[in-house]
């Protein structure tokens, strides 16, 4: 198989959660540019509709689905909708996530629960529901979006709940990769560093200078730079890769 064919996703059916903006939007577009039909999933229905329409302009099929990944019934309904429209699910990108900053000694349990539910429980619920369909077909590919925060402690902002959630995503990835390899389901993770997403832009004036000084490449990543890593993990180019964490952080974690 030549290299171009290795990255070809023509006819594949994909779900990307948290795809109404930022990294999720870029990953959904990347899969579509490689030929996949993409379900754009988000609580922000206007953003999801916009991304879905832009994907259709690439000549592939797309739907948008409103779903809260922390709600088991909504996740199951999301899978049902995608199965009805696409007939199968080949690729799941678990991207939906949130972050907040609180000193650990001041953090309310409600704030801890909110971040853990979206970033960790949401990843499991989506993987579980989609995984059941993939198991039936003995084929599938799940890509979980962790963070370099699952490997190191960020500074200067305090975010123990976020760091813990992203470390948990890495272990969910490894555990599911081990359990589901027998079903020909690959499970990997991407661990981005600081990326200039709309959420990061809001706090860039406060933290951006220090963040850039801590990155060997001296800058934050552009959201479009995640397109290559997600395509690699979603395609046949990574056919013997499972349980891995692809770190893309400009070198942040090497220091």
Residues with a known catalytic role: 162
Using H for helix, E for strand and C for coil, what is the string for the chain? CCHHHHCCCCCCEEEEECCCCHHHHHHHHHHHHCCCEEEEEECCHHHHHHHHHHHHCCCCCEEEEECCCCCHHHHHHHHHHHHHHHCCCCEEEECCCCCCCCCHHHCCHHHHHHHHHHHHHHHHHHHHHHHHHHHHHCCEEEEEECCHHHCCCCCCCCCHHHHHHHHHHHHHHHHHHHHHHHHCEEEEEEEECCECCHHHHHHHHHHHHHHHHHCCCCCCECHHHHHHHHHHHHCHHHCCCCCCEEEECCCHHHC
Beta bridge partners of 64: 40
C-alpha 233/C-alpha 187 separation (Å) is 9
């Amino acid at each position: 198989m030549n290299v171009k064919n290795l990255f070809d996703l023509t006819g594949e059916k994909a779900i990307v959660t948290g795809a109404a903006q930022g990294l999720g939007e870029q990953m959904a577009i990347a899969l579509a540019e490689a030929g996949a039909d993409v379900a754009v999933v988000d609580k922000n229905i206007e953003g999801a509709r916009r991304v879905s329409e832009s994907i259709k302009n690439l000549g592939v099929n797309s739907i948008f689905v409103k779903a809260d990944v922390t709600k088991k019934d909504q996740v199951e309904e999301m899978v049902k909708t995608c199965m009805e429209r696409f007939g199968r699910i080949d690729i799941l990108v678990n991207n939906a996530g949130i972050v907040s900053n609180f000193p650990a000694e001041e953090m309310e349990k409600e704030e801890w629960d909110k971040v853990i539910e979206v970033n960790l429980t949401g990843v499991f619920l989506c993987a579980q529901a989609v995984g059941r369909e993939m198991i039936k077909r003995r084929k599938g590919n799940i890509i979980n979006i962790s963070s370099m925060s699952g490997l190191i402690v960020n500074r200067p902002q305090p975010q123990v709940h976020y760091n813990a959630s992203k470390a948990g995503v890495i272990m969910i990835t490894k555990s599911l990769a081990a359990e589901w390899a027998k079903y020909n389901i690959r499970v990997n993770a991407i661990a981005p560093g600081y990326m200039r997403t709309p959420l990061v832009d809001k706090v860039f004036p406060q933290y951006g200078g220090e963040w850039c000084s801590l990155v060997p490449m001296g800058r934050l990543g552009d959201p479009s730079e995640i397109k290559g890593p997600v395509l690699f993990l979603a395609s046949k180019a990574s056919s013997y890769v499972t349980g891995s964490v692809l770190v893309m952080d400009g070198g942040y974690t090497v220091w």
